[in-house]
A and B are shown apart, each in its own frame.
Chain A
Amino acid sequence: MQLITVAGSPSVGKTSVILRVAELLRQSGLKVGVAKFDALSTVDDELYAQKGIPVAVGLAGSLCPDHYFVSNVEDCLAWGERQGFDLLISESAGLCNRCSPHIDGVLAICVVDALAGVHTPKKIGPMLRLADLVVITKGDIVSQVEREVFAFHVRLANPGAQALFCNGITGQGATDIVQHIRAAAPTPSLDGSRLRFSMPAAVCPYCVGETAIGETHQRGNVKKMRFADLEAAR
Chain B
Amino acid sequence: MSTALGTLPLVEVLDRHPAVADFVKVLGLPAAPAALTLAQWLDELPDEAFFDVGMERGQMLDHLQRLVEEVRAMESSADARIDSLTLIGGHDKQGRMELVELTFRAGDIVCIVGPTGSGKSRLLGDIECLAQGDTPTGRRVLINGREPTQARRYAPDRKMVAQLSQNMNFVVDLSVREFITMHARCRMVVEPAGMAETVIACANALTGEKFAPEVSVTQLSGGQTRALMIADAALLSASPVVLIDEIENAGVDRKRALELLAGGEKIVLISTHDPLLALRGARRIVIRNGGISEVISTSERERANLQRIEQIDAMLMGIRDRLRGGLRIEEELEWPN
Interface of A toward B, CB cutoff 8 Å: 97-98, 100, 114-118, 122-123, 125-126, 129-130, 136, 140-149, 151-156, 159-160, 162-165, 170, 172-173, 175-176, 179, 197-198, 201
Contacts and interface: CB of A to CB of B under 8 A. Distances in A.
Interface in B62-77: 63, 66-67, 69-71, 74
B142 interface: no
Interface in B192-223: none
Interface stretch (B4-12, B150-158, B261-269, B289-297): B150-158
A73 B55 CA distance: 22
Interface of B: 19, 22-23, 26, 51, 53-56, 59, 63, 66-67, 69-71, 74, 125, 128-129, 134-135, 153-154, 156-159, 162-165, 167-172, 179-180, 182-183, 186-187, 225, 229, 232-233, 236-238
Contact of A151 (B23, B66, B69, B157): B157
Contact of B225 (A114, A126, A143): A143
Contacts of B63: 129, 159
B186 A148 contact: yes
A181 to B, nearest CB: 13
Contacts of A172: 125, 128-129
A176 B155 CA distance: 12
A155 B233 contact: no
Nearest to B121: A170
A148 B158 contact: yes
Given A142-B170, A145-B183, A163 B156 contact: yes
A221 to B, nearest CB: 11
B167 to A, nearest CB: 5
Nearest to B168: A143
Contacts of A122: 22-23, 26
Contact of A159 (B22, B69, B172, B233): B69
Contacts of A197: 54-56, 59
Contact of B51 (A129, A140, A163, A201): A201
Contacts of B134: 175, 179
A155 B157 contact: yes
B51 A198 contact: yes
Which one of A115, A154, A164, A201 has the greatest number of beta carbons of chain B within 10 Å? A164
Given A125-B53, A149-B186, A144 B129 contact: no
Contacts of B69: 159-160
B135 A129 contact: no
Given A125-B53, A125-B54, A160-B69, A145 B229 contact: yes
A160 B129 contact: no
Contact of B129 (A149, A152, A163, A173): A173
A118 B183 CA distance: 11
B172 A146 contact: yes
Given A149-B183, A149-B186, A172-B129, A165 B23 contact: no
Contacts of A176: 129, 153-154
A123 to B, nearest CB: 7
12 contacts: A98-B54, A118-B171, A118-B172, A144-B163, A144-B232, A148-B162, A152-B157, A160-B69, A176-B153, A176-B154, A197-B55, A198-B51
A117 B218 CA distance: 13
A148 B179 CA distance: 12
Given A148-B183, A156-B19, A160-B66, 13 more contacts: A97-B54, A115-B171, A125-B55, A126-B55, A141-B167, A142-B167, A142-B169, A142-B170, A145-B179, A146-B171, A155-B157, A163-B157, A198-B56
A107 to B, nearest CB: 15
Contacts of A201: 51
